[in-house]
Amino acid sequence: MNPDTVPETTQLALLKTYLLPINLNSPRKDVEARIKHKDYRFIAIGGFGIGYPGLSNKELLCKYGSRYIMGTSDALESKEHGKLSHEFNSYAKEYNMALERKLSAQ
């Protein structure tokens, strides 16, 4: 393995970093804040492939796009990583559903 290309940051550390501006307890408030700043992207998470929890109208992805959250994966590194990933998956589902409702109403 080439030490210049192997990441030394864990997936858990990446996920925690991406979640810094996110309040896991209030996805709806986060939707409002992002809409206020004209960020209409849906949340994408990792797993077997890339998923968009809670999003039913995939056509909206073509129009508004998505933001992939690094550190989400089905390859969990620890119990803490699994717990945080599960919490974030619930957050992402509620966030995407709220955003879809807002954008569909426009």
- Per-residue pLDDT for 49 more than 80? yes
Residues 6+ apart with CB under 8 A from 66: 41, 42, 43, 44, 52
The tens digit of pLDDT for each residue in 62-73 reads 999 998 888 787
Q: Supply 16's token pair.
A: 């925690």
Positions of E strands within 1-106: 42-44, 66-68
Q: Model-level pTM?
A: 0.80
Give the pair of three-digit tokens for residue 27. 């996805």
Find the mean pLDDT for residues 79-98. 92
Q: How confident is the model at residue 29 (pLDDT cuts 50, 70, 90)?
A: very high
Please say if the pLDDT value at position 8 is more than 70: no
